[in-house]
Amino acid sequence: MAESGTLHDAFLDELRDAYDAEKQLLKALPKMAKAASAEELRAAFEAHLEETKVQVDRLEQVFASLEEKARGKHCDGIAGIIEEGKSVMEESFDDATMDACLIASGQRAEHYEMAAYGTLIAWARTMGHTQAARLLQQTLDEEKAADEKLSGLADDGINQEAAVANHPSENGGETPRAVSKKAPSKRATKPARR
Ligand code: ZN
Ligand code: FE
Ligand code: FE
């Protein structure tokens, strides 16, 4: 099915782009987790790393459903977003500000992925690739949830904390700690399986 210059070819190209993007994120997410101070933010990046591993496998299933070999094609878009995130991590921000910036970087990545998967799903449906569309929808749902999780963490205290740290006079000079700091002892341990 090597029809050239068709929407199907563009679809395969975009799938390869997404496959490469997810693989780039597999490397970036651990660094973002490490740079995060707030426990919940670190946990969110770590959880999304695990989801991303599943998303890579899922894209391999999509390729298989199309009888295509899974392969990536360098994704310049996500590379740029990751590069910007790296620059931010090199800055000497206070912890709360760094967390707010990590959320901003993470959300850029999620929105980029949401745009990519949204297009892939629409194209897959148009061409009748229903299994591919179903698999891609699962990933899109995870990307949306990851984005909402980051918005929630920002709204639940990280942005406020960063603002208070920088503008004490305008906020009463107190530093609320709505989000707990990195503390190994506080880490939620998974209940043992029986
Ligand atoms: Zn097709
Ligand atoms: Fe992803
Ligand atoms: Fe993602």
Q: What is the pLDDT of residue 170?
A: 57
pLDDT band for position 187 (cuts 50, 70, 90) = very low
- For residue 175, being part of any structural domain is answered with no
Mean pLDDT value of segment 8-16: 98
Report which bound ligand comes closest to the CA of 24: 2
Q: Give 104 Cα–ligand 1 centroid separation in angstroms.
A: 36
Q: What is the pLDDT of residue 156?
A: 86
Q: Give 140 Cα–ligand 3 centroid separation in angstroms.
A: 9
Query: Between the CA of residue 40 and those of 37, 92, 120, 191, what are the distances in Å?
Result: 9, 21, 31, 18
Give the separation between CA 63 and CA 72, rounded to whole angstroms: 11
Q: What is the pLDDT of residue 164?
A: 82
Give the separation between CA 2 and CA 95, rounded to whole angstroms: 52
Q: What is the pLDDT of residue 173?
A: 47
Q: Which of 6, 23, 5, 8 lies closest to 66 in space, CA to CA? A: 8
- For residue 178, being part of any structural domain is answered with no
- For residue 108, being part of any structural domain is answered with yes
Q: What is the pLDDT of residue 46?
A: 98
Overall number of domains in the chain: 1
- For residue 5, being part of any structural domain is answered with no
Give the separation between CA 55 and CA 126, rounded to whole angstroms: 22
Give the residue, 1 or 36, on which the prediction is more confident.
36
- For residue 188, being part of any structural domain is answered with no
Contact 150, 107 (CB under 8 A): yes
- For residue 128, being part of any structural domain is answered with yes
Report which bound ligand comes closest to the CA of 125: 1
Give the residue, 157 or 113, on which the prediction is more confident.
113
Q: Which of 105, 109, 98 lies closest to 158 in space, CA to CA? A: 98
- For residue 179, being part of any structural domain is answered with no
Owning domain of residue 108: 11-168
Q: Give 41 Cα–ligand 2 centroid separation in angstroms.
A: 17
Mean pLDDT value of segment 142-158: 94
Which range has the worst mean pLDDT, 14-28, 70-84, 124-138, 178-192?
Answer: 178-192
**3-state SS assignment for residue 188:** coil
**Percent of residues, the chain, with pLDDT higher than 70:** 84
Q: Give 86 Cα–ligand 2 centroid separation in angstroms.
A: 18
Task: Indicate the average pLDDT of the chain.
Answer: 88
Report which bound ligand comes closest to the CA of 7: 1
CATH of the domain at 156: 1.20.1260.10
Task: Say if residue 181's pLDDT is above 70.
Answer: no
Give the residue, 165 or 117, on which the prediction is more confident.
117
- For residue 87, being part of any structural domain is answered with yes
